[in-house]
Amino acid sequence: MDKMIMRRMEYYGYIGVFEEERKLGQRYYVDLEMELDLSGAGTSDDLTQTVNYAEVHELVQNIMHHKQFKLIEALAEHIASEVLHTYTSIVALTVKVTKPHPPFDIHFEGVTIELHRTRK
């Protein structure tokens, strides 16, 4: 199966268990790996034969800016559900959400949730 991969899209969101996280917000990275047939777009050079990645970015941005979650697991699940619902040509999707600087008194690069969903 062909793939369209969008890496390290950067958003500002209000996700977290702590009230300060949901009030102040912070930066997040989202990666999407969408499985779909790209042969029609490849042979026709026609945008209508593929998924418009600018629209996918806008969809994720709207989720990040207008939804609040306590867990990045819930955010990733919502992104997967919305992308699969909106783009019926996508047969499977991997979503990664990275919180680069969790508010803990320990030092590590961040935490990433990765989930894989297929069309039912």
Catalytic residue among 23, 70, 96, 99: 99
Indicate the residue type of 103: P
Indicate the residue type of 118: T
8 Å CB contact between 56 and 83: yes
Mapping DSSP to helix (H, G, I), strand (E, B) and coil, where does residue 66 land? Answer: helix
Neighbours of 16 (CB within 10 A): 21
Minimal CA–CA distance to 32: which of 64, 71, 3, 1? 3
Whether 67 is a known active-site residue: answer no
8 Å CB contact between 59 and 83: yes
Give the catalytic positions in this structure: 99
